[in-house]
Structure 1
Amino acid sequence: MKRPLYFVCGLIFTGLGIVGAFVPLMPTTVFLILAAGCFTHSSPKLEAWLLNHARFGPTLRAWRENGAIPRKAKAMACAGMAGGYGLFYALARPGLVLALGVGAAIAACAAFVVSRPSAAGPQ
């Protein structure tokens, strides 16, 4: 029962990752990391396809092997988070408590991204 569920989730995450490659402020890599994890438990063929993909494979392998995020991806992720927060603040006009709560959550996510190793090997 788990294998079909992992397979469907892997397909959904792959679809979201593909959409994220074309839609600004929507993440790509995080969905593909989740997809690869799901395919590990359901479809070794699709897992291998993702890990060997010319564009996304190196980033997925670096994450899997070392928890590494390339510097450029870190910069883009943090810029996307800042842009997303800016849009949220400008369009939602939140109260102080909500603005600080959302800002703290985004700052925690950015801190996690920045704290990951930048290269596949030792630094």
Structure 2
Amino acid sequence: MPENEAEPWEYSLSIPNDPRAVTICRRTLRLILTMHGLIRLADTAELLATELVANAVLHTKGPAVLRVRWSAGVLRIGAWDADPEPPEPPEELASLVDAEDGRGLALVKACADVWGWQPLARLGNRGKYVWCELRVA
């Protein structure tokens, strides 16, 4: 285990409502995980962050925030957006094989150890925080 893996840390990246922000978040997340010696989580974490941030950017009108937190062997990835409406419950991934869209949260549900959402206020704006966790065995 890298020596800094045991220490908790957290990063937040504020992003505009711009589809290019998804790529920036994905690349930033990979760099964060690499610098903290957690590259083994990068592929799955990138997929999860991409889906969460894409939902925040594509389905809302305001800014968003990617939040990444490491604590006690758990990586939590979350996206805040300004829309207070809850996300649509994901269907089972197997039922979406031929779907053109709508697979985002189904992928999150399938790949993460746990996921959820909560209403949230940030800087006086109401919104929601959708998150997922990856545990290191």
TM-score bin (small chain): under 0.3
Name the structure with the higher helix share: 1
TM score, norm. by length of structure 1:
0.28
Mark the structure with the bigger radius of gyration: 1
Higher strand fraction (1 or 2): 2
Higher relative contact order (CA 8 A, sep 6+): 2
